[in-house]
């Protein structure tokens, strides 16, 4: 997946979760070790709010699609395909987490997400 594709999928999931009434909200990070707290796993609604927050944050890691240079050869805005920026990798990890939440809460199936990750024809 390239940055444009990751952006398209994250934006689509943000829209989907918004239509389902989930406001973006970062999960509580005040617990130093969540494994020490019984019942610390968030509920489905909280998971989906956090997933929507992650969608909105992860797109910020990606290059601006409306770059002022508009030149596909610009290495700053359009890096070569073999040079995967660390921020793109981070956005892809966040997308993977979001997809895990969407699957575990029954919002999307594996097949639906496989299609989401495929470039449109």
Q: Can you give the residue ranges of every domain in the chain?
A: 3-25+40-115
Per-residue model confidence as pLDDT tens digits over 40-82: 566 667 899 999 999 999 998 887 666 655 554 455 555 555 4
Q: What is the pLDDT of residue 87?
A: 85
pTM for the whole structure = 0.76
For tokens 């770059």, the residue is 67
Q: Reduce the secondary structure of 70-92 to three states and give it as a string.
A: CCCCCCCCCCCCCCCCHHHHHHH
CA angle 92, 93, 99 (to 5 degrees): 85
Tokens of 30: 């005040």
């Amino acid at each position: 997946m390239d940055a444009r594709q990751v952006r398209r999928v994250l934006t689509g999931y943000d829209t989907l979760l918004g239509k389902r009434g989930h406001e973006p909200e970062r999960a509580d990070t005040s617990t130093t070790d969540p494994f020490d707290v019984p019942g610390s796993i968030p509920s489905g609604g909280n998971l989906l709010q956090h997933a929507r927050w992650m969608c909105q944050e992860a797109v910020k890691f990606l290059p601006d699609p409306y770059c002022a240079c508009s030149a596909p050869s610009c290495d700053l805005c359009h890096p070569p395909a073999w040079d995967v920026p660390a921020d793109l990798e981070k956005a892809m990890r966040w997308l993977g987490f979001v997809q895990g939440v969407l699957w575990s809460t029954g919002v999307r199936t594996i097949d639906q997400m496989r299609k989401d990750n495929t470039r449109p024809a």
